[in-house]
Homo-oligomer: A and B are copies of this chain.
Amino acid sequence: MSRADPVTWPATGPACPAPRTDTERVLLGDGSGGKLCAALVRERFLPHFGNPILGQLGDGALLELGGGSLVVSTDTFVVRPLEFPGGDIGALAIHGTVNDVAMMGARPRYLAAGFVLEEGLEIALLDRIVATMANAAREAGVLLVTADTKVVDRGNADGLYVNTTGIGEPIPGFAPAPALARPGDRILVSGPLGRHGMAIMAAREGLALQTEIASDTANLWPLVERLHETAGADVHVLRDPTRGGLASALNEIAAAARIGVQIDEGALAVPDDVRAACELLGLDPLYVANEGVLVAFLSPDAADRALAAVRDHPLGREATLIGEAVPRHPGTVVMKTGLGGTRIVDLLPGDQLPRIC
C-alpha cells in the first residue's frame, strides 16, 4: 500500500494545525515533537552540530569513554501546571529521562539536574516538587550526583523548569534502536494510551470530568529488564511515546527503519475517561502524550513470551500487541479502523497540546 491508496485522510479530529506561516520566529509548535519540531532540529541545529552520534537523533546517545561505554540522555521539563493528578514536574523529570536512557537498552544509574526557579516561587511548592523528584529517583534506583540552580526574575519560567540528564550503563549485546525494526516485527504497547496528556489538559483547563484522569508517569526500566530477559536481541526497538503520542513514535520508527507500520485500532487500549475527554476536546488519543507506556518492536517468535512477561508486571497489565512492521509503504503508518477501513496515521505538524512535559 502506498500513500496513493484509498485511505481516510486526513486523520480525524484536529490533527492538522495550520502549517508554519512564520519562518522568521520560533513557534510554539516547534517544541511539539511533531513535524515542526523535527524541522527545527534538522534546519537550525544539525547543520552546525552534525556528527554521527547526534545524527542518529535517538532518545539518547551511546558513548565510548576510557575503554567503557555509557548512554546519556537529556530533557528539559516545562510542563504547566507544575502539579497535576498522578504526579508533578519533579516526578516527570526523573521518569522522562530515566525512560529515555532505558529505551536505549541501558540501566539508568546517575542523574544531573539543572533547575531554573522563578523569583517568588513558593518554597513550600518547591519542597513538594523536590520531595517527589527525590522519591522518584530513589524508586528508579538512580542517584542525583550534580546539580545547578538559577533564579530568574519574576514573570519568567512559570515557577520552575528543570533539566535532567541521565547516565546509564548499557546492557552488553542489547542495543535496541528505531532503525532496527524489520518487516514482520510485532508491535507491543505496554499500557493504555493518553493518560498523561489528558491529565495535564484537564488540570490546565479546569475540566470538570466525571472521574479524575491521573498521569501514568512511571519508571519503565522494570519492563525493559523483563523484555531483555525474555526476548534479548529479539527486542529490535524500544520507544516511550511521549510528546506527539503513539502516532509520532510509530512514524519516527517507520522513517528510521524504512519500513511500513500497520496497526489495528481495535487492539489499542484507550481508557474510557481518556476517550471521553478526547471527544469532548476534539483530540485524537493516538497523538496524546504518555509517560508510563513503552512501544517495543519484537521478532515475531518472541512476541508472545515478551507480552506475557510484560503483562506479569503491574505497569504492563494492559499490554497488547497492536500490529506489525510490513515491507509495504515504508515510512508510513497505517491503521485498520473499527469500521473496517484504513487510514494513514501521519506525523502532526505541531502538537495538539503544548507543554505537556
**Chain A interfacial positions (CB closer than 8 Å to B):** 23-32, 37, 40-41, 44-45, 48-49, 51, 53-54, 58, 60-61, 63, 65-70, 72-78, 109-110, 112-124, 126-127, 130-131, 133-134, 137, 143-153, 155-158, 161, 163, 165, 167, 169-170, 354-355
B26 and A121: CB pair below 8 A? yes
- Residues in chain B near residue A156, CB distance under 8 A: 155-158
What's the Cα separation between A35 and B37 when bound, in Å?
A: 40
What's the Cα separation between A63 and B112 when bound, in Å?
A: 12
CB contact under 8 A between A74 and B126, given known A25-B121, A49-B134, A355-B152: no
What's the Cα separation between A20 and B161 when bound, in Å?
A: 23
**Cross-chain pairs A/B with CB under 8 angstroms, 8 sampled:** A44-B123, A49-B133, A51-B145, A53-B145, A53-B146, A76-B148, A153-B355, A156-B157
Give min CB distance, A276 to chain B, whole Å. 28
From B118, B122, B143, contact of A51 by CB (8 A): B143
CB contact under 8 A between A130 and B44, given known A25-B121, A110-B63: yes
What's the Cα separation between A220 and B216 when bound, in Å?
A: 44
Supplied contacts A65-B109, A65-B169, 11 more A-B pairs, CB within 8 Å: A24-B123, A24-B124, A25-B120, A26-B123, A31-B117, A45-B130, A66-B70, A72-B167, A75-B114, A78-B152, A148-B163
What's the Cα separation between A78 and B163 when bound, in Å?
A: 13
- Residues in chain B near residue A130, CB distance under 8 A: 44-45, 48-49
In the complex this chain forms, how many copies of it are found? Answer: 2
B120 and A26: CB pair below 8 A? yes
A73 and B112: CB pair below 8 A? yes
A75 and B167: CB pair below 8 A? no
A24 and B137: CB pair below 8 A? no
- Residues in chain B near residue A134, CB distance under 8 A: 48-49
- Residues in chain B near residue A145, CB distance under 8 A: 51, 53-54, 61, 63, 72
B163 and A127: CB pair below 8 A? no
CB contact under 8 A between A115 and B30, given known A122-B24, A146-B54, A156-B158: no
Most buried by B among A29, A48, A60: A48
Give min CB distance, A133 to chain B, whole Å. 7
- Residues in chain B near residue A112, CB distance under 8 A: 61, 72-74, 165
What's the Cα separation between A260 and B131 when bound, in Å?
A: 36
What's the Cα separation between A50 and B39 when bound, in Å?
A: 40
From B32, B65, B151, B354, contact of A28 by CB (8 A): B151
B49 and A114: CB pair below 8 A? no
- Residues in chain B near residue A69, CB distance under 8 A: 66
CB contact under 8 A between A27 and B119, given known A70-B65, A145-B53: yes
- Residues in chain B near residue A148, CB distance under 8 A: 74-76, 163
CB contact under 8 A between A163 and B74, given known A48-B133, A63-B145: yes
What's the Cα separation between A255 and B51 when bound, in Å?
A: 42
Nearest opposing residue in chain B for A71, CB measure: B146
A53 and B143: CB pair below 8 A? yes
